[in-house]
Amino acid sequence: MKFGILVNEGPYQHQASDSAYQFVVAALAKGHEIYRVFFYNDGVNNANRLVEPPQDDRNITQQWSKLAADHGIDLVVCVAAALRRGIKEEILAPGFRISGLGQLVEAGIKADRLVVFGD
């Protein structure tokens, strides 16, 4: 099965990003395909490479970057939501790219299922 993923919440305010990440890892382990992960609303904060969590905490941004590098996953950040939150191309973590809502629509069309994490 081919999944599209929508993440609507930031990495440290809500469990949505961690749940989405774990879902993607489990889906890949079962042989499924991830068409795209789209970060929208506060979810765009997952792409900020300037985030520095404490050493004893997980760095979800680095986890997404590594997952994208290891599996060729397309991580797309909504341009409008990102700019509203001060996130520009130069502060994106590796593997993330900025684009428009058309990428979310395309993921919904091309994937067998679009799974939403967060409000």
CATH number at residue 63: 3.40.1260.10
For 61-90, the pLDDT digits (tens) are 999 999 999 999 999 999 999 999 999 999
Provide the pLDDT for residue 13.
86
Q: Phi and psi (nearest 5°) for 96?
A: -95, 150
Q: Quick one: tokens of 59?
A: 């760095």
Provide the pLDDT for residue 56.
85
What is the C-alpha to C-alpha distance for residues 38 and 116, in angstroms, rounded to an integer?
A: 10
Torsion of CA 51, 55, 20, 22, to 10 degrees: 160
Least confident of 26-30, 37-41, 56-60, 69-73: 56-60
Q: Annotated active-site positions, please?
A: 78
For 45-62, the pLDDT digits (tens) are 999 999 888 888 899 999
Residue 69: which residues within 8 A CB-CB, separation 6 or more?
94, 95
* Number of domains observed in the structure of the chain: 1
Q: Which domain holds residue 45?
A: 2-117
Strand partners, 5: 37, 115
